[in-house]
Amino acid sequence: MRTVAQCPLAASGCRLALAALALVACSTDEALGPAQPLHPLPAQPIARPQVAFVSDRDGPEYVYVANVDGSAVGRLALGRSPAWSWDGEKIAYVRNGIHVMNADGSDQMQLTADGGTPAWSPDGRIAFAGTGTEGIFESIFVMNGDGTNVTKLIDADFPVVPDDSQEDFPRGLWDPTWSPDGQTIAFMRAGLGTDGLYLANADGSGLRRFAEGYGLGSPAFSPDGSTVAFSYVFQLLPPLVPLSTNCHEPAFAAIATASTNATDPSQFQAWCGSELYVPQGADWSHDGTRLVFSEYSTVRDAWDSYPTRRRIYVLLLSDGSWHQLAPEAVAPAHPIYDDSEPAWAPIAR
């Protein structure tokens, strides 16, 4: 549902945790300028559910939507990090702060002056990563869907190991996401010895590290709340997730899935077919049978910082097969462009 802004450090494909710490300073949002007229949605029938994603195919980064079969691609608004409300009627996104709009791009409204990686709760609130004195995302906030009642939920300086709170090292929090019952929130944390995916109660209590490691990102709960998916780079450290028959050379990153009750990485599952190069930002289909994600189109793109050629793909969990979802752009403004940050609408209307 949410991914880290593509800064030069993160664009190598590693999605390193420390890249998130510099997220605000190198965000592309500041350079987008005034909002431009909306690009009309295509004339083809618009089905439900839809997938939202970010692309610079038309120049700057816009939020787009497409049907889950890849048809009816339409441009909605300047920005990135789209997140669907649980009724599928609204999309939160980032452009110089948190904005919301209707699912067709109408009624765009700015809610905050800064912040990133928004996520809707089932009861209509929005969690987001907020900046601190160091200009990095160092807290998770929650607010009403209209931007009122902003409340700090979690600070990055919470201790997870003895004397952890005394370490003189920047910390960052980002990518909050809610469980379907609204009782649990997952998020990412960066910091010396504390990198990983964390879970907490909806009020910020009960913090625990669910998956430890450098290079994790983008947690997402399955529709029934039983499983968490997240991005995982295993080229950088010994495999957190045991490699299975799904993973072959030259793969060096995966989408991992794990039961929320898992107590050991041996219980995790890795998905990284033989030709997947750094899959990122996985999100679940509304029925829990598929994962949508972005990844580099060739291994060369995965290793090179620029240019990149990320595209949106869908993985069928029953057999591990996958295919490209959003089709290639016709006459794009950038011959080499990226499609990224896919978010699957949680409901079929």
> pLDDT digit string (tens) for 87-145?
999 999 999 999 999 999 999 999 999 999 999 999 999 999 987 655 677 789 999 99
**How many CB atoms lie under 10 A from the CB of residue 331?**
7
For 301, phi then psi, to 5°, come to: -60, -35
Lowest mean pLDDT among 7-16, 58-67, 236-245, 334-343: 7-16
Lowest mean pLDDT among 176-190, 237-251, 276-290: 237-251
pTM, 2 dp: 0.83
Would you state the pLDDT for residue 9? 29
> Taking Cα atoms as reference points, which of 86, 87, 79 lies closest to residue 120?
86
What kind of fold does domain 10-160+167-344 have according to CATH?
A: Neuraminidase (2.120.10)
Q: Give 304 or 98, the one with higher predicted confidence.
A: 98
Q: Give 35 or 234, the one with higher predicted confidence.
A: 234
* Mean pLDDT to the nearest integer, 21-27: 40
Domain borders along the chain are 10-160+167-344
Strand-by-strand arrangement of the 80-84 sheet: 80-84, 90-94, 98-102, 109-110
* Mean pLDDT to the nearest integer, 152-159: 78
Kindly tell me if the per-residue pLDDT of 290 is higher than 70. yes
Would you state the pLDDT for residue 255? 84
> Taking Cα atoms as reference points, which of 155, 7, 27, 24 lies closest to residue 79?
27
- Binning pLDDT at 50, 70 and 90, where does residue 147 land? very high
- Separation between Cα atoms, residue 320 and residue 63, nearest integer Å: 28
